[in-house]
Structure 1
């Protein structure tokens, strides 16, 4: 995603690499959309529409996370761990298992939101920052 790709590729493709700034923007958009859906949907409608909204949000999250993991030189399959941890603690962590999931989320925030991507090309493509 060298700045030329569109929103569709950002949210619906797991190929290539993603720089930190677009990742943070995409993560904020996805988190905001899910939070708005949670807050603004009546319970009866939420039960029906959730079957479509949550899988779409998880798929988009997996694509964005995978590309950012690729930029860090990691396998995109680690996105499953991050998404599992997010689903486990949403909306509020309660027990020891949720504490462990929270640690995984903290790792993901530091690894993906703070650390820079690998310099130069790696096995997932060229550096998105030219």
Structure 2
């Protein structure tokens, strides 16, 4: 899976490591862009103006990437996309559960209904070895 597919796509599975690295990296980018916007336009005190427009423009890709990453982590845990809605829209319980489920629990070992393991576990070589040593 390419980096563009990991960040913007809705299919496949995503490892915890990639989930955290992409989330942290994208958050740093958003913060830097916002701070640069504050420095250039100087409208921090106003609460409106060009910086607010920049934040609104950044909200759409931020939402898209957040949904894509959460969905692929759910797929790695062998769960459907409805769980993303639960994790995001149910206050406190959903947020904590989603944080633990997506950020800390290991994905399904081997292949599941959403594809092969992103760790390479349970690939063709494993099934061939199972046939040989069965």
TM-score by length of 1: 0.73
Kept in 2: contact 1:62–1:83 (CA 8 A): no
- Gaps spanning 5+ residues in structure 1: where? 85-99
Quote the Cα distance in structure 2 between the aligned partners of 1:38 and 1:107.
29
Q: 1:80 to 1:34 in 2, by over 3 A?
A: farther
Greater C-alpha radius of gyration: 2
1:60 Cα offset (Å): 0.7
Matches within 5 A, 1:1-130: 5-42=1-38, 43-84=48-89, 101-130=91-120
Report the 3-state secondary structure (helix = DSSP H, G, I; strand = E; otherwise coil) of the residue aligned with 1:119. coil
1:128 Cα offset (Å): 0.9
Report the 3-state secondary structure (helix = DSSP H, G, I; strand = E; otherwise coil) of the residue aligned with 1:116. coil
How many residues are treated as equivalent by the alignment?
111
Q: CA RMSD in A?
A: 2.0
Q: Which residue of 2 aligns with 1:94?
A: none
Quote the Cα distance in structure 2 between the aligned partners of 1:74 and 1:128.
15
Kept in 1: contact 2:34–2:55 (CA 8 A): no
Kept in 1: contact 2:37–2:54 (CA 8 A): no
1:78 Cα offset (Å): 2.4
